[in-house]
A and B are shown apart, each in its own frame.
Chain A
């Protein structure tokens, strides 16, 4: 992983502390995301992974705030920005998608229209331009027949299709970073793979930097080249994906890897692993 103090990284958290009314929730963590890089944040519920994400988006819940350290986006300190300042950053510099994509869309408006609204308002495009652009961006995310999909309502689409619509909305203003917080958690395994493949593909095609948050090591391993393992608001291990998963140093990371090995699919598919 890039050193947190190295310059030129797109997202840098330095000694980041996040506190709520009852004390610290995230205890001075540091990490960095390179341009076009892919960083995975892994941890159980309550490990602070979602709070960390939210702090990068300036959307911490009420009563929770960054109380120490700093966050930099593209070499700009965004630790203490106002609500108004954040509005100029979210969407344009950093986009995000979350778990349960259906709940982020208006059930009564066709999904294409929800995407074109963003394009029209934020990019000032004309109505004619936006519908062509919307269909193009849905198609680019691997949705078949995007001109039909754009006319459909959220309830007519599968979870994987909805998540791709939300990715299209998050990327409408061409941010250089996409935060995906448990984007596949409620989805079937085949649909999960579809969404993860889309993320990996976007990285390659658009040089988009990705922060992928999950409780599942294997999910993160599909997309990310660097991994941070969080436990109780602290980083217990960080490094390149292959090293962290192949040769975990911390006891907790080993536990996560062992859990996966015990009931993951690999040992049933490759005999040499089963014998190990």
Chain B
């Protein structure tokens, strides 16, 4: 990784992001003032349990909101120097079409149109953005599929005819064809088998190294996070409870949830002592929660 690329200024800056659902008395806050940075050439992991707000955070970056809920977000989000929170809806749509930020989701069967061929799916973003003729689009699509290692013969197939690993590569090709600066991967390997998972992680690393993109890598799979991220943020019930370099976080965990998370990752050798340790950590977390509830009630 060249120094010049990695030490770039923050590509993504999230400041005091609060997201809440509902109105007035029935309002529930999902994210309680989150700060997060991703620099160019950096892979930042975001880990946390289901419902901790990981996906909400990711979706808020491009103002996608929380599906059909009328969620309300406050705070400031800057992407590559553009304050996206201050953009008008029309300008935000234009910014999305520009392709600076691209998403890859867990299940490519749901993110790829089942009726479109692979080539058409990858070309879609370019067509929407405009400015290229057919031959240029075809060329870019071929380059992008080549970049992620999808054979040209698969370009005329449809998503259902591909394996899970191939589909996820296509989802990445579809994102990379727009030459994004920031790739947001939301559980990109969770639905894949071990072999495809490793290939996918290698691919993401390679894209970072060759293209200098920033990556926000969301996962509950610690093995993957440990393997490819430079820094990790831990989200617990809507709060970032811990942020550190990956090496540092694996060596010393500050918050009991992080300790439990790391202690819960199955290893080939764990035994009864690990079980006792986890049970203690669960009790510690439960006590923290009880204390938080009590202070909220006061």
Contact = CB atoms under 8 A, between A and B. Distances in A.
A60 interface: no
Given A200-B275, A259-B194, A264-B223, A189 B50 contact: no
A207 interface: no
Residue from A45, A159, A190, A193 with most neighbouring chain B CB atoms (10 Å): A190
B239 to A, nearest CB: 16
Interface residues of A, number: 36
Given A197-B278, A262-B198, A191 B49 contact: yes
Nearest to B282: A194
B269 A266 contact: yes
B266 A190 contact: no
Residue from B201, B224, B266, B272 with most neighbouring chain A CB atoms (10 Å): B266
Contacts, number: 92
Contact of A265 (B195, B198, B262, B286): B262
Contact of B262 (A44, A219, A263, A269): A269
Contact of A257 (B222, B265, B268): B268
A218 B262 contact: no
B279 interface: yes
A238 B219 CA distance: 33
B226 interface: yes
A266 B278 contact: no
B260 A190 contact: yes
A259 B266 contact: no
Nearest to A267: B226
B74 to A, nearest CB: 28
Given A197-B279, A263-B201, A264-B223, A159 B265 contact: no
A190 B198 contact: no
A146 B271 CA distance: 27
A45 B195 CA distance: 13
A246 B269 CA distance: 9
Nearest to A265: B265
Residue from A45, A192, A216, A268 with most neighbouring chain B CB atoms (10 Å): A268
A192 B264 contact: yes
A172 B195 CA distance: 39
B220 A263 contact: no
B160 interface: no
Interface string B29-55: 000000000000000000001100000
B195 A193 contact: no
Interface residues of B, number: 34
Contacts of A201: 275
B69 interface: no
B140 interface: no
Interface of B: 49-50, 193-195, 197-198, 201, 220-224, 226-227, 246, 250, 260-270, 272, 275, 278-279, 282, 286
B266 A219 contact: yes
B193 A222 contact: no
A260 B193 contact: no
B182 to A, nearest CB: 24
Given A197-B279, A266-B267, A189 B193 contact: no
B116 to A, nearest CB: 26
Interface in A241-276: 245-246, 256-257, 259-260, 262-266, 268-269
Contact of B195 (A200, A219, A259): A259
21 contacts: A44-B193, A189-B261, A189-B266, A190-B49, A190-B260, A190-B264, A191-B49, A193-B263, A197-B279, A215-B194, A218-B268, A219-B266, A221-B269, A245-B268, A263-B223, A264-B223, A265-B223, A265-B265, A266-B269, A268-B227, A268-B250
B123 to A, nearest CB: 32
A196 interface: yes
A217 B222 CA distance: 16
Contacts of B197: 263
Contacts of B286: 144
Given A218-B266, A263-B194, 15 more contacts: A45-B193, A158-B50, A190-B49, A200-B272, A218-B267, A221-B267, A245-B269, A263-B198, A263-B227, A264-B268, A265-B222, A265-B223, A265-B265, A265-B267, A269-B262
Contacts of A3: none
A136 interface: no
A120 B288 CA distance: 38
A27 to B, nearest CB: 22
Given A264-B223, A265-B226, A196 B198 contact: no
Given A215-B193, A264-B223, A269-B250, A193 B266 contact: yes
Contacts of A246: 268
A156 interface: no
A12 B266 CA distance: 28
A52 B286 CA distance: 39
Interface in A123-176: 144, 158-159
A215 B266 CA distance: 13
